[in-house]
Copies of this chain bind each other. A is one copy, B any other.
Amino acid sequence: MFDNDSIMRLACSIAFERMGKTSPNPAVGAVITKNGRIIGNGGTQNYGGNHAEVMAIKDALSRGEDLHGAEIFVSLEPCSHYGKTPPCTEAIIQSGIKKVYIPLLDPNPLVSGRGVQRLLDCGVNVEIMHKFFPMAADLLRGFKKYILRGKPFIINKCAMTLDGKIAANSGDSRWISSDSSRLLVHKLRSKVDAVIVGKNTFLNDNPSLNVRPGDFSEEAFFPFDMGINLTGRYNFFLEELFKAKPDPDIEPLRVLIGMPDYIPEGSNFFRDDNYVVITSKKSYNEKIAKNSNLKNFDFRQRLVVGEYDDPSKEVDFILEVLKAHGVMHAMLEGGSGINGTFFNAGAIDMFMYIIAPKVAGNGIPPISGAPVEKISDSLLLYDVTTASIGRDILICGYKEQYNFEMM
């Protein structure tokens, strides 16, 4: 017989497993138990598909289980509104399930508390398992930002030397971090909807920005297989990410910011149509004036030229374009310039910095932002977690707590 804590944790693990496949819906997991047995489970399907609760109910029914008197553990408050699918509350009520366990309310103001109210009104018990709030919240930061602020959640990932360099002055950056750390980046790519790079990284690295577990030897998987301790704040998202298998079938949208000087022959970025190039009109005009080949390059309707004149509007424009592409989580993979642009706009929500135990002595910093007058103006991170990834050290923190102040 399982205890309730194990079941809720399982629901959260299912939710994590679905991350990267549900945007802009939240990834949710659900587990149904009856008489101490798990009789069904499920996770949110791709956008427009069934939610976790419905999947779990269908799973139980398909096994011939009787749901009357069963209990369901869901990693988020069931929805009570009609969206692409009917409300999950109604499916639960009709199923005969007698009790719903959730870790937190839905941050979506269309739902928040109303799902619980609807269940109670129809005689279904509800228990909020507050101790699972941080765990479930770690998976919902992106959804919360998306639903409340209408913007994608941006994760800035960097690999740097101990003295804070992401590349040599020449641009060379292969490799700062260990194989295991680079494997972690591929795991993370499986969980985001888009991967963003600047034009220098595009030209220097010819990045593929896909998920390639096959590039790594067994040794790279070893630290994750052994288990990785977290120091500082416990972070459920990170713990699950360490255990996750990088999924080569997931191809996050490739996003190039800015017009490059040229498009190299055989560019991995343009290998298929799963990309978007976002640039300002000014930058576009300057670059095509210098290089007529750029004008003739077939962007296949995937070049978005922003009309704004004010450079401070650049990031807002980029985020709007990403949102229009259904991007809820995006990973900003550098370089220094585009990281600085996002940082100055206050648009980086999560920092995942991998520090290799090496010293370069000089080179390119992770962020080339606006000059800083006082060090006390720095952004203090919340919920900081550290972990050793093989010989490297991961430091991870957030711009805001999950319960951020609304601006």
A: residues with CB less than 8 A from B are 160-165, 167-170, 172-176, 229, 231-232, 340, 343-344, 348, 351, 353, 355-363, 365-381, 384, 386, 388, 391, 393, 395, 397
Do residues A175 and B360 form an inter-chain contact, with CB atoms below 8 A? no
Q: List 13 A-B contacts (CB under 8 A).
A: A161-B375, A162-B353, A163-B367, A176-B375, A340-B362, A348-B359, A356-B378, A359-B378, A360-B377, A362-B368, A363-B371, A363-B372, A365-B365
Q: Which residues on the B side are within 8 Å of A369 (C-beta)? A: 360-362
When the two chains form the complex, which single residue of B161, B167, B371 contacts A169, counting CB atoms closer than 8 Å? B371
Which residues on the B side are within 8 Å of A172 (C-beta)?
A: 373-376
Q: A343 and B359: CB pair below 8 A?
A: yes
Q: How far is the CA of A376 from the CA of B176 in the complex (A)?
A: 7
**Chain B residue with Cβ nearest A384:** B357
By a CB distance below 8 angstroms, the chain B residues around A376 are 172, 174-175
Q: How far is the CA of A380 from the CA of B177 in the complex (A)?
A: 11
Inter-chain contact B355/A355, CB cutoff 8 Å = yes
User: B residues within 8 A CB of A348?
Assistant: 359
Contact A358 B381 (CB under 8 A): yes
- A386–B384 CB distance below 8 A: no
Give the distance in Å from the alpha carbon of A267 to the alpha carbon of B13 in the complex.
59
**In the complex with contacts A232-B388, A372-B168, A359-B355 CB distance below 8 A:** no
**CB <8 Å contact, A372 and B378:** no
* Partner pick for A168 among B167, B373, B386, B397, CB 8 A cutoff: B373
5 A-B pairs closest in CB distance: A164-B164, A361-B369, A358-B378, A168-B372, A357-B381
Picked from B167, B366, B380, the residue with its CB within 8 Å of the CB of A375 is B167
Q: Closest CB of chain B to A132's CB: distance in Å?
A: 25
Bound complex: CA A298 to CA B361 (Å) = 36
- B378→A386 contact, CB < 8 A: no
